[in-house]
Amino acid sequence: MNHEKIEKWFYSEIADPEKTVVHFLLYCLSLCYRAAIFLRNTLFDLRLIPIYHSKKKVVSVGNITCGGTGKTSFTELLAKKVGRPVAILERGYRAKKKKRGPFLVSSPDEGDEAFLIAKKIDFAKVIVGKKRVRSALMGEKMNVDYILLDDGMQHRYLYRDLEIVVVHYQDLFGGDAFLPRGLLRESPKRLKKANYIVINGVRTENEFLDATKQLQNYTKAPLIGVAYEVLNREELQNKKVGAFCGIGKPNEFYSLLHSIGCRIVENETLPDHSYFDGIDSFQRKAMRNGAETIVCTEKDYVKLDGRKGVVPLSVELVVRFGHSHFLTLIDQIKN
C-alpha cells in the first residue's frame, strides 16, 4: 500500500462517524502522540533543547492541524505586502527529487509549493531543507532583510521573532483529536504563544465572529480573517470543466469553481502534493463529457510543465477582517 492509498484510507477513517476497533486503536495512538508533543514542547520551553537565534528577523507561519489551512498562501501574501528581499524556508514535502542539505529551489520536483512561491515572488530566495536552522544559516548569507519560516510552528530549533498561526474556519481544531485519530499536530492551548491568528475561509462577518468566539477560549492574540479570491474569473466563468487537485482541502477548490459559475462534469481528487499520473485519460474522459477545459490548482499546474488544455485556477488570499491588525503585522516585519 503506497502513501497515497494510506492517506485516502486515513481520511476516510477519521471522517467515519461510526465507532469501530480501528477508531479505538487510532485514539490510543493519538494519546501517545499527544504525550510526545507535550514532552517535546516542555523541553523546548525549559530551554533543555538548544534554540538557534538567527541574525535576521524570523517570522514563522504555521498551524496546529495537518495541511490545508493556507499557511503557504499567507506566507506568499506577507512577502508580497512587505515587498522586501526575503528568504523563505520550505521543507519540500513529498518532493520527487531529494537533495542533501539546504538549497535554492529550481524545479517543482524539489517541492511544488516551494517552486510555485519562487515563481510568483522574484525577490524571494526560496530555500528547501528539512533542517530549518541550516536553511536559516544559508539565508543569513544572502542579501535579504528577514526570514519567513513556512510551516514553522513545529520547528522549534529555530527561534522566531513573530509567531503567526493559520487556522481554517471549516475545522478550527482538527476534529478535536490528535493524530492519527484527528488532525491536531499541537494542542489548541499552544495558540496562546501566537502573536497573530489568521482565520482562513471566512467570507461573512458572522463566520468571523463565530470563529472569534471559539478561539477566544485559547488566545488573546489579534485575529485576521482571510479568504481566497479567484484572479482569472473571466477566463473560466460559467464554463463546463474537468477539475482535479491534490491539496489539503479539495472542497475549497471545488467551491471556488462553483462560485464563478463553473459546471464540473468530471473531477478527480488526489492526496496532497501528488503527481497526477492519470492526467491523459482524465483529460480525454472530461472532454467526452463536454468539458470545455481542464482546471487544476496552481500547485498542481507547476508539475504539468505547461500542459496544453489545462488552466490553473489563479487565486490569492484577501484580508476581509482585522485589516488594522494585518497592517500592524506588516509594520512589525518591516521595522
Query: Nearest-5° angle of CA 77, CA 83, CA 89?
Result: 60
pLDDT tens track for 206-218: 999 999 999 999 9
pLDDT in tens, 170-180: 999 999 999 99
Same fold, 57-228+318-334 and 233-313: yes
**pLDDT value at residue 96:** 84
Architecture of domain 233-313: 3-Layer(aba) Sandwich (3.40)
57-228+318-334 belongs to CATH 3.40.50.300: yes
What pLDDT does 67 receive? 78
- Taken in order 230, 235, 240, 245, the sign of the CA dihedral is negative
Whole-structure pTM value: 0.94
| Residue pLDDT, tens place only, 42-52 | 999 999 999 99
Instruction: Specify the residue for cell string 502513501.
Output: 3
Domain ranges of the chain: 57-228+318-334, 233-313
Please report the pLDDT score of residue 193 as a whole number: 94
Instruction: Find residue 126's DSSP bridge partners.
Output: 88
Cell 524545479, located at residue? 107
Looking at residue 128, its pLDDT comes to 97
Spell out the residues 6+ positions from residue 257 whose beta carbon is closer than 8 angstroms to its own.
236, 241, 243, 264, 295, 313
Instruction: List beta partners, residue 313.
Output: 297
pLDDT value of residue 1: 45
Sheet holding 263-269, edge to edge: 263-269, 240-245, 293-297, 310-313
State phi, psi for 121 to the nearest 5 degrees: -125, 100
Q: Digits of tens for pLDDT over the chain (335 positions)?
A: 466 666 666 666 666 666 778 888 999 999 999 999 999 999 999 999 999 999 999 999 999 999 789 999 999 999 999 999 999 999 988 888 888 889 999 999 999 999 999 999 999 999 999 999 999 999 999 999 999 999 999 999 999 999 999 999 999 999 999 999 999 999 999 999 999 999 999 999 999 999 999 999 999 999 999 999 999 999 999 999 999 999 989 999 999 999 999 999 999 999 999 999 999 999 999 999 999 999 999 999 999 988 999 999 999 999 999 999 999 999 999 98
